[in-house]
Amino acid sequence: MINKELLRSLDDYFDCCIREDLGPGDYSSEACIPSAARGRSELLAKESGIVAGLALADYLLKKFDPDAQLRYFKSDGERVEEGDILFEAEGRIRALLSSERLILNFIQRLSGIATRTSQYVAKASKYGVRVADTRKTTPGMRLLEKAAVRAGGGMNHRMGLYDLIMIKDNHADFAGGIARAVDASRRFLDEEGLKLKIEVETRNLEEVREALKSGWVDIIMLDNFEPGLIREAVDIIDGRTEIEASGNITYENLEDYASTGIDYLSTGALTHSVRSLDMSLRAVFDSP
């Protein structure tokens, strides 16, 4: 989940985000709110979904007001309904106003990712299939967006180019074929003392068979295979490697793919075109 350690690792990124929005100052708030005035605001869900990124509110607000206090009513990965209050914040009013849009932008987007992921997971889990993300993330936000996928019940594929040997079609073509690419990868791992899995992207059944021959492949990706062809590939692989399906998988056709016998499916749709969950930060006043 998104915790303080993760947020601290992105501190420079958040400072850039604040400078982008704040510039030389929040003149609207400075113009009409006394500097010492204190108040409260609350985050309201305006539609149902899965929430993610709530720790960002405390982290970002305290960059504007170190003495601000938050009280949470929901946790990452929890379902919220329209009208639910996710947290209440108390602090200097200028800080509440200056941090409002930044907090909303992050939490709404991450909650949108968690919500979409949960929808995919609900369909795929009926077949024992896991749902994974891809590297199609917003630059600078990968760690946050992949944490949101986990909050929605999904799994992370590789985090970057460093934690898995993934031989894609271009790698194989440039290397002179799948067999040569796999052999070279094994030698590289041995020479560098790295213990990483090897995944091979395949475009047809002939490439599936070629990937199996080496005996060193841990995962075979079936890229842009139709469900019927996936079933043939599953029979050929016969449990010798894990099987991933990717490409042209949508929420509408997901079950057609999940029912083929694969281990997991990956889709960039979890992160690259997600719709943010609707929320608002509003001022809170005690009833007279």
- Residues labelled catalytic: 101, 136, 168, 201, 223
With H, G, I as helix, E, B as strand and everything else as coil, classify residue 60: helix
Q: How crowded is the C-beta side of 186, counted as CA atoms within 13 Å?
A: 11
How far apart, in whole angstroms, are the C-alpha atoms of residue 37 and residue 286? 16
Give the 3-state secondary structure of residue 287: coil
Spatial distance between the Cα atoms of 115 and 86, rounded to a whole number of angstroms:
15
Phi-psi region of 33 (alpha: psi -120 to 50; beta: other; left: phi over 0): beta
DSSP string, 16-34: HHHHHHHTT--HHHHHHS-
CA distance 130 to 15: 35
Long-range contacts at 7-16 (CB < 8 A, ≥ 24 apart):
7/55, 7/56, 7/59, 9/143, 10/140, 10/143, 10/144, 13/140, 14/59, 14/60, 14/63, 15/63
∠ at Cα 39 (38, 41), nearest 5°? 145
Q: What are phi and psi of 22, to 5 degrees?
A: -80, -35
How would you classify residue 257: left for phi > 0, otherwise alpha for psi between -120 and 50, otherwise beta?
Answer: alpha
